[in-house]
Amino acid sequence: MEKITRHIIWFIDLFYPPFRKYMPEQTFRYAVCGGSNTVLGLGLYYVFLKLVFKEQVVNMGFYVFEAYTIALGISFCVNFLVGFILMKYVVFVDSNLKGRIQVLRYFLTFTLNLTLNYALLKLLVEVIKWDALLSQILTTCIVITISYLSQRHFSFKVK
């Protein structure tokens, strides 16, 4: 894991020099890792929404889901795992909190972000009647800002 982490950091840092004047290295790494994870999440969301569930309701037997809701759940599950690994081992490497505390706090902020994302998505799609993909992109922009602040000052805080 350490070797992979070093390669990822090395690769990200190759692109940092032009941004040195505008942001600290940690913020740049967060932007790259968070941006990559966001693109992964949006890609998964699109694949499940449009290709797998074909924007149809999904009957799970115990509950009937809208396609955009279940696509959101699947993409967020993958994003949780990938996001935590990137934040812990690439971005917030100076955090001296124990790993179990980090994952618990990350889970709490992640759950808050998922709830916010879900509520905004429901509002935009069902109340305002916007396109589901466009709604998810806008919602993602809002959630990213909140996520960065909560990760930096809570989940991976330095004592």
Digit-coded pLDDT (tens) for 111-157 = 898 899 889 999 999 999 999 889 988 998 898 888 888 988 899 98
Q: Is-contact 34 12, C-beta < 8 A?
A: no
Q: What percent of the chain has pLDDT over 90?
A: 61
Under the phi-then-psi rule, with left for phi > 0, alpha for psi from -120 to 50, and beta for the rest, what region is 64?
beta
Tell me: pLDDT of 48 over 80: yes
Which sign does the torsion angle of CA 125, 145, 112, 59 carry? Answer: positive
What's the whole-model pTM score? 0.78
Q: What is the reported pLDDT for 71?
A: 92
Q: Angle formed by the axes of helices 25-46 and 67-86, to 10°? A: 150
